[in-house]
Amino acid sequence: MPADPTVLVPDDGQQPDAPPKPPQESADPHPVARRSARASLRPLVLRLHFYAGLLIAPFLLVAATTGLLYAGSYQVEKYVYADELRVPVGEDKTEVPLARQVAAARKAHPEGTISAVRPSPEEGATTRVLLSGVPGVDPDHTLAVFVNPYTAEVRGALEQYGASGALPLRTWIDGLHRDLHLGEPGRLYSELAASWLWVIAGGGLVLWFGRRRSRRKLRGTKGGRRTLALHGSVGAWAAAGLFFLSATGLTWSTYAGQSISDLREAVNQTTPTVSASVTPGGAAGAGSGGEHSGHGAASGGVGAGTGAGAGSGGGAGRGGADVGLDAVLKSAREKGLSNPVEIVPPTDEASAYVVKQVQRSWPEKQDSVAVDPTSGQVTDVLRFDDYPVLAKLSRWGIDAHSGSLFGLANQIALAALAVCLILLIVLGYRMWWRRGRGNSFGRPMARGAWQDVPAYVLVPALAVIAVLGYFMPLLGIPLAVFLGVDIVLGEIAYRRGKRTYA
């Protein structure tokens, strides 16, 4: 929200930056000292809201626009890739063995290594065989080979990214939203937007609800005041959603996200993983992944070279034959792992198969088991119900932010929030422009507001800001730059005699 309800007409009726009116005589010799802490903070919040909204809004506009595109990509993806995702259902609805489906995929695409297999999750849906290390495929992606589960016919192959199974269209939009396709440097833009979104939304909310009388007077007005009323109303209604997007977006960020991970580790609230070791006391395997993990490019594993190896599971060097994918899936079913699931093959001779549920919609299915490849026995079980509280909240927050937790309703809500944010930015810039005269740009709010804030409020507030800035560098560093530039400009204005020093 680049502007706020007091931007157009200051409370004292003066034009911004105009010479102050002569002080009126008052029975109270210290009127400023008697002002409440809330009243003294308002001008400071106003100036922060104005500048932060003005300068950060372009980044928020990009994030909102790309987020709007991403919210719609789920439904578009179903139509664009319908041939790969859906197949006719036979009369008997009998699926061929999973090993045969994987063998067909390996025959069509013998290159690379099988990193995971996603059996058909429902009637009419294809099976996905995920290959890593395929020439010409992004190293962070896998090649998803789509197989008809009723006939073992290969329907096509597409690059896939992330645990959500994003295909090329959604992957491209996701990259645009995340880092503008600029890699790690580009992620700074999204972290900057997420770091400041809650500050701008919170400031606007405080200003809006702090002017109840003025808000009532704005009803039925026209022009700038009506723009002001609309800006404030939309911001108030959308604030909770904007706070949520900011908080969950930070979990993906480079610097603030690492701080969040460190905090969760310190309080023992990290996401657990099922142990993929077939030896007693073995370490947990990477097959189960974390909140942000995609499909790991596991080396080795079943079917690394031939279709036959893929079908049987490839038990060479294990001291016993591999029980195969169908037996592994059967063992997982017996432990209650219903569709959709993903089977991650062993990475070496000492590791097990990992079967994990991959449903990200409510109710979430995130249970996982490890299965011994030589005996088919389940060696470890991890239930989502046993996750630490913060791990569950992180999982739900990330899935809601990405639009998968509540399906279509989730995606509609995200699209609505994106539209609200875009509208707030447009209205805010319109109000800023109207603050100017003629062809001049809108002018900033008056300086020196911090001088009226009591020390017992100002000092703790600065301490909190310093702590937040440390853990969220893209909040702290820009804020320090804003203050530095503002001080320099104030000093210049003071030396030119245009204003008193503040």
Per-residue pLDDT tens digits for 360-397: 999 999 999 999 999 999 999 999 999 999 999 999 99
Mention every residue, 6+ apart, whose C-beta is less than 8 A from residue 361: 399, 404, 405, 406, 407
DSSP annotation of 344: E
Tokens of 293: 């993990």
| Contacts for 478 with CB less than 8 Å, ≥ 6 apart | 55, 56, 192, 196
HSE, CB side, 13 Å, CA atoms: give it for residue 433.
8
Give the pLDDT mean for 266-292: 72
pLDDT in tens, 125-155: 999 999 999 999 999 999 999 999 999 999 9
3-state SS record for 99-120: HHHHHHHHHHCCCCEEEEEECC
- Could you read off the pLDDT of 280-322 as tens digits, one per residue? 555 555 444 456 543 333 333 343 333 333 444 444 345 568 9
CB-neighbour burial class of residue 389 (10 A; exposed 0-12, middle 13-18, buried 19+): exposed
CB atoms within 10 A of CB 101: 31
Q: What is the pLDDT of residue 369?
A: 98
pLDDT higher at 159 or 302: 159
- Show the tokens assigned to 85: 């995702």
Fill in the DSSP letter of residue 126. P
Domain ranges for the chain: 40-69+179-257+404-496
CB 445 within 8 A of CB 46: yes
Other C-beta atoms closer than 10 Å to the C-beta of 441 total: 10
**Residue, of 39 and 227, whose pLDDT is higher:** 227
H or E element at residue 461: helix 455-471
Between residues 120 and 222, the one the model is more confident about: 120
Cα(234)–Cα(229) distance, integer angstroms:
9
The pLDDT value given to residue 294: 36
Q: Is 90 exceeded by the pLDDT of residue 346?
A: yes
Instruction: Quickly tell me which residue has 């030119």 as its tokens.
Output: 496
Instruction: Say if CB 283 and CB 277 are below 8 A apart.
Output: yes
Question: What 3-state DSSP class applies to 332?
Answer: helix
Give yes or no for a contact between 155 and 147, defined as CB atoms under 8 angstroms apart: yes
User: Residue 384 burial (CB < 10 Å; 0-12/13-18/19+)?
Assistant: middle
**Percent of the chain residues past pLDDT 90, beyond the cut:** 63
- What is the C-alpha separation between 232 and 1, in angstroms, rounded? 9
- Among 211, 174, 285, CA closest to 9: 211
Which amino acid is present at 313?
A: G
pLDDT for position 444: 61
Q: Quote the tokens at residue 394.
A: 């992180």
Residue 342 forms beta bridges with which residues?
356
Q: Find out whether 144 and 157 touch, Cβ atoms under 8 Å.
A: yes
SS3 content of the chain, % helix, strand, coil (to 5): 50, 10, 40
Mean pLDDT over 267-291 rounds to: 72
Spatial separation of the C-alpha atoms in residues 406 and 414, rounded to whole Å: 11
DSSP-derived pairing of the beta strands 368-371 and 378-382: antiparallel
Q: How long a stretch of residues is the chain?
A: 502
Rounded distance between C-alpha atoms, residue 32 and residue 435, angstroms: 27
SS3 letters across 154-191: EEEEEEEECCCCECHHHHHHHHHHHHCCCCHHHHHHHH
- What is the rounded CA–CA span in Å between residue 300 and residue 285? 14
Question: What's the confidence (pLDDT) of residue 307?
Answer: 37
Peptide linkage before 460 cis (omega within 30 of 0): no
- DSSP-assigned letters across all residues of 353-410: EEEEE-B-SSSPB--EEEE-TTT--EEEEE-GGGS-HHHHHHHHHHHHHHT-TTHHHH
Burial class, 461, CB count within 10 angstroms (exposed 0-12 / middle 13-18 / buried 19+): middle
37 or 354, higher pLDDT: 354
Here the tokens at position 358 are 């991959």
Question: Which residues pair with residue 360 across a beta bridge?
Answer: none
Q: Is the peptide bond before 119 cis (omega within 30 degrees of 0)?
A: no
Q: How many helices (H) and strands (E) does the chain have?
A: 14, 8
pLDDT of 326 above 70: yes
